Amino acid sequence: MDPNQTSPHLHADVFFWVKIVLTGGLIAALYSFILPDLAKEWWTQEASSYGMLIPPIALYLFWISRKTTLALPARIDGRGLWLVAGACFLFLLGQLAAEFFLARISFVFLLAGLTWTFWGLPRLQTMAFPFVLLLTMVPLPALVYNAVAAPLQLKASALATDISQAIGVSIYRDGNVIHLATTSLGVAEACSGLNSLSSLVVGSLLLGYLANASLLGRIVLTVLSVPLAIAVNVLRVAGTAILADYKPEYAEGFYHLFSGWLIFVVGFGLLWLLGKLIFRLLPAKS
């Protein structure tokens, strides 16, 4: 064999890595401002902080299912380019409309489209759940968040007032402000339930996946996680009002923060119990 001749396999390997480097470089250039800005929001905004956990969890799920994925033959599938084109459209639309949500979420669709294009649909299907989980790392659009937060604030205030009055606390409500005999409590956006809502939705998705539940069971649990998040938050507001009526200091500082963490743990405990019940009533087909 002529030592000056290059093996065709070597050419194929070099071409493969050239494609990887060029594609990765292009993605890094496109999202060089968007992804760092998303990470900054995770770090600085309490309502979005759960997003920091999503990428590591998704990568772990990719890793533990790698044998199932790699056992399937890799096939280049041109149909995946439609998903890539859709992701690019979302990216451009988000950039032109200055809508961060569209530009951020296009990243996940782009990764899924590239996986489909270079690895084929069967491999993408084995990775479907981690990609769905990655979608949840993007916070809700500001327009949606603001539209939902205000009604939830008023609802939480009203229900907490009703509960406190039923227990015998002297209390009345003015909008989202609860007035007690010795102090007044303002139900802020953080107390609307949206903070815990995103976390409980992610928790419901993970519970369904880990329990290998049926699709219907997963959907039901995810849907029920919404009223559950609102309910536990109402209990937090009502409990704060009742304790503040006894001692106003319990509505401030450490006690207020501790009640937030406590109700968060209670919410996840109730979600787990609800999941056990739903998955038993709606078992996966064997």
Q: Name the domain boundary from 134, 153, 178.
A: 134
From CA 104, how far away is CA 34, in angstroms rounded? 6
Return the pLDDT at 265: 86
Amino acid at 93: L
Q: Name the domain boundary from 134, 157, 183.
A: 134
Q: Name the domain boundary from 134, 151, 178.
A: 134
pTM of the model as a whole: 0.80
Residues 251, 171 share a domain:
yes
- Give 243-266 pLDDT, tens digit per residue: 777 776 666 666 666 767 787 788
Report if residue 286 sits inside a domain: no
Residues 268, 168 share a domain:
yes
Share of the chain above pLDDT 70, in %: 86
Residues 154, 119 share a domain:
no
pLDDT averaged over every residue in the chain? 83
Res. 123 pLDDT band, cuts 50 70 90 = very high
Residues 198, 166 share a domain:
yes
pLDDT: is 118 or 240 the higher one?
118
Residues 277, 155 share a domain:
yes
Report if residue 2 sits inside a domain: no
From CA 59, how far away is CA 56, in angstroms rounded? 5
Residues 163, 121 share a domain:
no
From CA 247, how far away is CA 264, in angstroms rounded? 23
Neighbouring CB atoms inside 10 A of 131's CB total 17
Report if residue 32 sits inside a domain: yes
pLDDT of 148 strictly over 80: no
**Per the structure, how many domains does the chain have?**
2
* Contact indicator for 111, 132 with CB cutoff of 8 Å: no
Handedness of CA 227, 47, 266, 182 (dihedral sign): negative
Across 103-117, 208-222, 223-237, least confident range: 223-237
Residues 37, 128 share a domain:
yes
Largest CA distance in the chain: 95
Residues 158, 276 share a domain:
yes
Report if residue 235 sits inside a domain: yes
Residues 272, 149 share a domain:
yes
Residues 59, 150 share a domain:
no
- Give 30-55 pLDDT, tens digit per residue: 898 899 999 999 998 877 888 899 99
Neighbouring CB atoms inside 10 A of 118's CB total 18
Pair of tokens at residue 251: 């509505």
- 90 Cβ contact list (under 8 Å, min separation 6): 102, 103, 105, 106, 109
Residues 101, 123 share a domain:
yes
SS3 for the chain is: CCCCCCCHHHHHHHHHHHHHHHHHHHHHHHCCCHHHHHHHHHHHCHHHHHHHHHHHHHHHHHHHCHHHHHCCCCCCCCCHHHHHHHHHHHHHHHHHCCCHHHHHHHHHHHHHHHHHHHHCHHHHHHCHHHHHHHHCCCCCCHHHHHHHHHHHHHHHHHHHHHHHHHHCCCEEEECCEEEECCCEEECCHHHCCHHHHHHHHHHHHHHHHHCCCCHHHHHHHHHHHHHHHHHHHHHHHHHHHHHHHHCHHHHCHHHHHHHHHHHHHHHHHHHHHHHHHHHHHCCCCC
Residues 54, 35 share a domain:
yes
For residue 231, give its domain range: 143-281
Return the pLDDT at 1: 47
pLDDT of 12 strictly over 60: no
Report if residue 3 sits inside a domain: no
Return the pLDDT at 283: 86
Q: Which of 171, 144, 138 is closest to 243 using CA atoms?
A: 171
Q: Which of 110, 120, 147 is closest to 26 using CA atoms?
A: 110
Report if residue 1 sits inside a domain: no
